Amino acid sequence: MLAMVVNDDAGNLMPNGALRFFASKLAPTGLGPQVHRETPGMNTKPRIALIGECMIELQHRADGSLQQSFGGDTLNTAVYLRRELGEHSTVDYVTALGDDSFSDAMCKHWAEEGLGLGMVQRLPGRLPGLYCIQTDASGERKFLYWRNEAAVRECFTTPAAEPILAALPGYDVVYFSGITLAVLGEAGRERLLNTLVETRKRGGKVVFDNNYRPRLWASIDAARAAYRKVLAEVDIALLTEDDERALFGYEDSEQVFAAYPTIAEVVLKRGADACLIRCEDERFEVPARVVEKVIDTTAAGDSFSAAYLASRLKGGSPQEAGLAGHRLASRVIQVPGALIPRD
């Protein structure tokens, strides 16, 4: 039986003064709950915007039937981040949908999860993308996609995108992924890059999850060029080791860390192995425990990223954040689908 290893060993936390990183690098008062930059004294909740795509999800069951739900990497992270932070933050999702019943259902579900919908565009005549998950006996997944005409491809190129792009630099944290880069297209990526630059100029922080999907790119060279542009504007990089190897050919964690000397905090997700963290000049390896029965690894990395970021926003050290990330991921991989039921 496959066993997946996840972090959950608080006894191995090391004293490190890691909160100094957030105090000196990520925000004047730390990345934890803080007074919002533009309205001092009025808003003590951090405002987080996550940019990306939510799709119609079809889960292929053993009996041949299909279960329909919704999912997408940054959407999964947004939902889990809101669950982890609760009322102590504002979590807004940034995307484009159609004017169809599936898009209506998505927005209803997001509102029920507490996500803000003010940055969601509804484009007449368009539809969301669709994907199907096929899962083998060991819990590993195969994805089939129908997304070429998805509304999100025009997310940053419509007239309605102008006020959204203008508002994003006012957030405390802007989060996006490699899938976000792919689905936005070249014009959308340039507008995103300009937004990231402006966000950092105003004191906001940029968080990036590498999520590399080769089939979404015209070529590996195009993907590398797009990634390198945005990585120059990232404060926290949440990197899956396998994706770094597939995209850039890095052979081990040392090569990954060496590739990003200007990123203040790099978190290397390594599946069943312990995660590795570099925060400023300090290194941490957070140990792991075994999950005996893996049902579905969908959203394991997305949920890890959500819990890691939530912990850091609440003032947790990198080790505590790593433990939180793997703790949530260990729950997610024991349930079919991307989003587990709420407690």
Please count the residues of the chain.
343
Q: Which of 201, 301, 288 is nearest to 7 (CA)?
A: 288
Return all residues near 242 (Cβ < 8 A) that are at least 6 apart: 271
How far is residue 324's CA from residue 7's CA, in Å, rounded to a whole number? 8
Largest CA-CA distance found in the chain, in angstroms, rounded: 57
Q: Reduced to 3 states, what is the DSSP secondary structure of residue 194?
A: helix
Q: Point out the catalytic residue in the list 172, 252, 302, 343.
A: 302
- Alpha carbon of 26 to those of 41, 177, 198, 203, 220: distances in Å? 20, 19, 15, 8, 32
Contact 121, 164 (CB under 8 A): yes
**Tokens of residue 91, six digits:** 């979590």
Give the H or E element holding residue 286.
strand 282-286
Q: Which of 239, 234, 315, 312 is nearest to 275 (CA)?
A: 239
How far is residue 77's CA from residue 299's CA, in Å, rounded to a whole number? 8
Residue 172 a catalytic site member: no
Q: Output the CA torsion sign for 244, 249, 255, 261.
A: negative
How far is residue 198's CA from residue 196's CA, in Å, rounded to a whole number? 5
Give the residue numbers marked as catalytic. Answer: 302
